[in-house]
Structure 1
Amino acid sequence: MNSRGPMQPYLSNSLAIRQEIQRFESVHPSIYAIYDLIDAIPDPLIQQQIREHVVCIE
Structure 2
Amino acid sequence: MADNSGAAAGGAIYGFGLFGAWVYFWQQADGFWDHVVGILEGVVWPAIMVYDLFSYLN
TM-score tier, shorter chain, comes to 0.3 to 0.5
Identify the structure with the greater helix proportion. 2
Greater relative contact order (Cα < 8 A, sep 6+): 2
Indicate the structure (1 or 2) with the bigger Cα radius of gyration.
1
The TM-score with structure 2 as length reference comes to 0.46
Superposition TM-score, scaled by structure 1 size? 0.46
